[in-house]
């Protein structure tokens, strides 16, 4: 069993260090940040689950004048830079807020979320209410903010007022840390109050960041860089460090050597190749290879409990995968073919738009591909992957690929969900009529038509067609079983219609050429007879039918046999 301590879900730097839990040392980000005069406002964008919140917690511990952080930084990279630590460690007041939980179905509910966050964070700053350096009016405003009794206008000025108060009290310029700044905007777009939220965020950040002489600097994190003209208007000393930037490219997520170190400490080094296939593949900056840290720690923790544990799509257990589902559901853009290319290991070429607004995400195909890139569902292709596609790189465009098995699984499961939903909306009565009446020509035509409008994956292997046929019958009132023991083997699909006392056995074959379709469909029918797949059905249903179905790419040939009809 591994002796490595892992705090699953731990986002407090101090807690992780005090409990002696696994921490991959990223403190040298401070040396990069402070090597020269930092921008007044730095925005760092990364996909979710890449360590943004933990890094912000570390920055807070390092800068905060109210703390003594020497012990928890002892032995880490930044501690070796004594000059930097003497100048910056615990030398500035810090105000930190996370907006990741600012949600609401209405703008009023979202504002209530802001009030709650300011109030909760304000509980650490109530000493300002007794400060002799603040006027009574300043104290009254802070009291309203900290007690949650403020109006919208006061809430918009909250960050500016708190930073000014901190400067007045400590006589040192404060540092403002805002984590997941764009979550309220994403929620607002989903619930129909986006423009109200943009106005609020613009006013709040404008007051705190644009004309605030009290501020040392501010650092914001999020998934997307919202276009400057939307909420960062007038900020001249503003720098965004997105996933294409070289600076900080190895500071969020784990590098290959860092994963090696974790696995060695946990005694799971033989699992490296498996982890690479599932959780590696992200390329930040100048092709810096990055693993998703959330997945690595989750899987190592599972292996510690069960050495035979298999990799999982841990992102499926987090929020946000609705992005993929909404993308797949688009019917106004011709993206189905490109999705097939991606899922089957290829790449797509597109112009990346790094500055977006949430209300324009779905306005163009470029924006949609950019969204999947910026949120980690796609990544830049390597030179080898581009060459494998037989393409030459266009300097104005980027080749994108699915980074690893985990994300591919998310895509395929999202496609399966989309297909099931599509089937529920479709009038399937003509298809079911041809199925039960044995009209092979019509059934072949209707299934082929469905395939033509379906995103295919797994290189058109048998399991893909198996899933399509199963999905056709889902939610239709039929009982459907797959690959169950039946007769002297396993039937691919059994469909039961209890109400009409009829059932069907379907055997699926995958052809390597269109000329093989009809012969293979006949082979499938013969297999049903030879293996007696219908044996458990004969005494329970008045009618039992057999279907042999052969597939090649997006074509289907079906052959029918009425086995029993009493």
Whether 156 and 49 map to the same domain: the answer is yes
Kind and range of the H or E run holding 349: strand 348-350
- Taking only the tens place, the pLDDT of each residue in 465-520 is 888 898 899 888 899 988 766 656 788 899 999 999 999 999 999 999 999 999 99
**Domain containing residue 118:** 25-241
Residues 78-111 as b/e (b if ≥16 CB within 10 A, e otherwise) read bbebeebbeebbbbbbbbbbbbbebbbeebeebb
Q: How far apart are CA 472 and CA 218, in angstroms?
A: 53
The strand ranges marked E within 51-105 are 94-98
Nearest to 92 by CA among 178, 155, 171: 171
Q: Are residues 281 and 263 in the same domain?
A: yes
540 and 458 within one domain: yes
Please check whether residue 211 lies inside any domain of the structure.
yes
Please identify which residue in the block is written with the tokens 């995103």. 455
Looking at the fold, whether 368 and 229 belong to one and the same domain comes out as: no
16 lies in a domain?
no
| Residue 4 in domain | no
Question: Do residues 276 and 208 both lie within one domain?
Answer: no
> What is d(CA 496, CA 479) in angstroms, rounded to the nearest whole number?
5
Q: Tokens 């708190």 map to which residue?
A: 162
Whether residue 421 is contained in a domain is answered as no
Provide CB contacts within 8 A for 551, sequence distance 6+: 451, 460, 462, 465, 508, 509, 510, 511, 517
User: Are residue 92 and residue 183 in the same domain, yes or no?
Assistant: yes
CB contact set of 327 (below 8 Å; sequence gap of 6+): 335, 368, 371, 372
C-alpha closest to that of 329 among 260, 254, 403, 417: 417
* 444 CB-near residues (< 8 Å, 6+ apart): 556, 557, 558
CATH number at residue 506: 3.40.1350
Helix (H, G, I), strand (E, B) or coil at 397: coil
Indicate whether 129 and 218 sit together in one domain: yes
Pair of tokens at residue 77: 């990279």
Residues 430 and 381 in one domain: no
Residues of the chain with pLDDT under 70: 1-3, 228-229, 317-323, 329-334, 391-394, 457-460, 484-488, 564-566
How many angstroms separate the CA atoms of 385 and 399, rounded?
A: 9
pLDDT tens sequence across 162-186: 999 999 999 999 999 999 999 999 8
Residue 413 near residue 322 (C-beta atoms within 8 A): no
The answer on 175 and 68 residing in a single domain is yes
Q: Which residues contact 321 (CB under 8 A, 6 or more apart)?
A: 315, 410, 414
User: Residue 213 and residue 217: Cα distance in Å, rounded?
Assistant: 10
Long-range contacts at 516-521 (CB < 8 A, ≥ 24 apart): 516/550, 516/552, 517/550, 517/551, 517/552, 517/555, 517/556, 517/557, 518/550, 518/557, 518/559, 519/550, 520/548, 520/550, 520/557, 521/548, 521/549, 521/550, 521/557, 521/558, 521/559
In a domain, 415, yes or no: no
Same domain, 360 and 374: yes
Residue after which a domain boundary falls, among 241, 270, 302: 241
CATH number of domain containing 84 = 3.40.50
Residue 1: its pLDDT value, please?
37
Q: What is the pLDDT of residues 71-91, one digit of tens each?
A: 999 999 999 999 999 999 999
**Is 249 within a domain?**
no
CA–CA distance, 225 with 353 (Å, rounded to integer): 10
Residue 39 domain-assigned (yes or no): yes
- Is 176:185 a contact under the CB 8 Å cutoff? no
- Report yes or no on 514 lying in a domain: yes
Number of domains in the chain: 4
Q: How many CA atoms lie within 13 A of 25 on its CB side?
A: 13
Please tell me the pTM assigned to this model: 0.85
Q: Are residues 311 and 326 in the same domain?
A: no
């Amino acid at each position: 069993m591994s002796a490595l301590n892992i705090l699953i879900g731990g986002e407090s730097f101090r807690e992780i260090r005090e409990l002696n839990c696994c921490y991959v040392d990223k403190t040298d980000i401070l040396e990069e940040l402070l090597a020269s005069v930092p921008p007044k406002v730095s925005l760092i964008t990364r996909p979710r689950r890449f360590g943004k919140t933990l890094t912000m917690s570390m920055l807070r511990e390092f800068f905060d004048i109210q703390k003594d952080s020497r012990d928890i930084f002892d032995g880490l990279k930044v501690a070796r830079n004594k000059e930097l630590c003497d100048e910056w460690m615990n030398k500035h007041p810090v105000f930190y807020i996370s907006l990741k939980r600012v949600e609401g179905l209405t703008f009023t509910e979202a504002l209530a979320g802001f009030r709650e966050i300011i109030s909760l964070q304000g509980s650490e700053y109530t000493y300002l209410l007794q400060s002799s350096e603040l006027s009574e009016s300043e104290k009254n405003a802070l009291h309203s903010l900290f007690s949650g009794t403020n109006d919208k206008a006061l809430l918009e000025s909250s960050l500016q007022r708190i930073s000014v108060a901190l400067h007045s009290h400590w006589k040192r310029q404060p540092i403002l840390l805002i984590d997941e700044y764009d979550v309220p905007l994403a929620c607002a777009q989903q619930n129909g109050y986006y423009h109200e939220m943009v106005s609020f965020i613009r006013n709040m950040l404008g007051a705190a960041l644009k004309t605030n002489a009290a501020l040392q600097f501010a650092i914001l994190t999020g998934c997307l860089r919202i276009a400057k003209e939307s909420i960062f208007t007038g900020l001249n000393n503003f720098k965004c460090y997105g996933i294409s930037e070289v600076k900080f490219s190895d500071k969020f997520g784990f590098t290959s050597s860092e994963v090696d170190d974790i696995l060695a400490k946990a005694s799971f080094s033989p699992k490296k190749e498996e982890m690479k296939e599932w959780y590696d593949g992200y390329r930040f900056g100048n092709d810096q290879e990055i693993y998703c840290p959330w997945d690595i720690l989750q899987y190592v923790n599972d292996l510690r409990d069960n050495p035979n544990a298999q990799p999982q799509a841990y992102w499926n257990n987090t929020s946000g995968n609705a992005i993929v589902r909404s993308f797949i559901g688009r019917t106004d853009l011709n993206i189905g073919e490109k999705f097939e290319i991606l899922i089957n290991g290829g790449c797509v070429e597109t112009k990346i738009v790094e500055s977006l607004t949430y209300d324009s995400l779905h306005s163009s195909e470029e924006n949609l591909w950019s969204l999947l890139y910026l949120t980690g569902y796609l990544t830049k292709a390597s030179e080898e992957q581009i060459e494998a596609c037989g393409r030459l790189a266009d300097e104005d465009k980027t080749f994108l690929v699915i980074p690893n098995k985990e994300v591919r699984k998310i895509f395929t499961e999202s496609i399966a969900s989309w297909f099931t939903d599509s089937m529920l909306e479709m009038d399937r009565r003509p298809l079911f009529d041809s199925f039960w009446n044995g009209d092979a020509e019509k059934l072949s035509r209707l299934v082929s038509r469905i395939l033509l409008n379906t995103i295919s994956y797994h290189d058109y292997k048998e399991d893909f067609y198996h899933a399509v046929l199963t999905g056709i019958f889902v939610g239709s009132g039929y009982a459907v079983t797959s690959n169950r023991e039946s007769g002297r083997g396993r039937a691919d699909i059994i469909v039961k219609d209890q109400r009409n006392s009829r059932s069907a056995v379907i055997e699926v074959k995958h052809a390597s050429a269109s000329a093989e379709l009809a012969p293979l469909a006949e082979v499938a029918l013969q297999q049903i007879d030879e293996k007696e797949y219908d044996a458990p059905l004969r005494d329970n249903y008045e009618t039992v039918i057999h279907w042999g179905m052969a597939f090649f790419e997006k074509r289907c040939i079906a052959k029918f046999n009425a086995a029993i009809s009493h």
